[in-house]
């Protein structure tokens, strides 16, 4: 689906735990659209897990990405 990196971290705050997700790929909207509509057995299972754990339903995966990238620093040589 074109995702080359996924990072999940848990932030514990006074308001409760918060999961921070980071995905990297050339076209995340396309990748999320493929996940939302795929009929492959693993993809259906994974989609159900994502919805149950994170509340990301297929409708949300097909919607406009909720975040905009404003800064992406890469050190020289890294």
Q: Does any domain span residue 78?
A: no
Q: Does any domain span residue 47?
A: yes
Domain interval for residue 17: 3-62
Q: Does any domain span residue 75?
A: no
Can you point out the beta strands (E) in the chain?
A: 3-13, 16-25
> How many folded domains does the chain comprise?
1
pLDDT of residue 13: 92
Q: Does any domain span residue 15?
A: yes
Give the tens place of pLDDT for each residue, 19-68: 888 888 989 889 989 989 999 999 999 899 888 988 888 888 888 877 77
pLDDT of residue 73: 87
pLDDT of residue 4: 93
Q: Does any domain span residue 73?
A: no
Angstrom distance (rounded) from CA 67 to CA 70: 9
Q: Does any domain span residue 17?
A: yes
């Amino acid at each position: 689906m074109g995702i080359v990196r996924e990072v999940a971290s848990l932030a514990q705050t006074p308001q409760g735990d918060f999961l921070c997700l980071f995905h990297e790929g050339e076209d995340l909207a396309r990748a999320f659209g493929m996940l939302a509509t795929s009929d492959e057995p693993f993809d259906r299972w994974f989609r159900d897990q994502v919805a149950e754990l994170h509340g990301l339903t297929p409708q949300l995966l097909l919607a406009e990405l909720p975040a905009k990238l404003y800064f992406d620093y890469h050190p020289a040589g890294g």
